[in-house]
Structure 1
């Protein structure tokens, strides 16, 4: 296969008008409410990606240094947000190629859709769990009592009964039985310290049996890992 990066085209339709989505993808305070997950330098990451290495073309496009771009396609009170790295997707060479950037945008767009459609109150706090496991093992931890939000080859996203967004993201197809790197991001909003600590303890307990288990969140000024 060529050494060129995998082209991608990721898009999600959000139940919000173009100007609302544009503000959410250009205002650093709002970006922090949907992009990525909490870690020691999320603010620095946002600055690097969305400010230092991006060019805005309001109200519908943002260009990045690597040739990729985000664009908005408005349709009344709905807007499609799209991440594109140009290149030919023809042929079969790319069929089984996992790409972290492609899947990252897929996760983050769904997190953005959750923010703008559900409009949860209060600040976001996340728990990011990583390890090595087969998808079935992690999906069993998540359970089946959630509301489906998004399903694709490498991701399953649900809203659990507590109203938290759960993003399972693997580097192997979720329908297979291969073990590999896998993550679970729990997004919460509006929890006080005690409530968030309880959620963190619950998910940490669930995750400790996963090989290479690591839990990352932001607690005050420290990043918590196990």
Structure 2
């Protein structure tokens, strides 16, 4: 049972409808991921919080462990993105997911910033979209480009299937960082060529800042 203190955190500074939507999304997240270990809270007007859910990424049928976090934004889907009419298959609302080893302040800040970009720049994110940065956004990696995909892990797919906001279905987009050469491959040969490389190289689900470029 959630305490009155926790409820006050959800409702603070939010209109009633937004607070209710926030709680509904969190309930969907928790139905698959249990309660978050912690939440990085947004003090800005848009209110995009980042929940950190602990996970062992090794399937139950296998031995060993591979512990990390599923980071999920909560609040990005309150606003519709500026999806053009010709992108008929793209959902106008989304939340972002990032699989990480440590849920650092740096990574949570990057995720929150990405969640605000469509509304700052009047743009939109969908499957296969890239956001190139002038410098690596995370310490320990040389990769500078964010790439959005969709979940392939079953509980995360179920979360995506249940999300909605303002009467619209909402999408989950997973966050990945790719090298300059991988970015060029996508631009020149298409996303499928890069996805094939991920399969061939056993791309790890948890973000590895020391990963070598596949190109």
Q: TM-score, with normalisation over the residues of structure 1?
A: 0.29
Q: Which has the higher contact order (CA 8 A, sep 6+)?
A: 1
Bigger fraction of residues in helix: 2
Bigger fraction of residues in strand: 1
Q: TM-score, with normalisation over the residues of structure 2?
A: 0.30
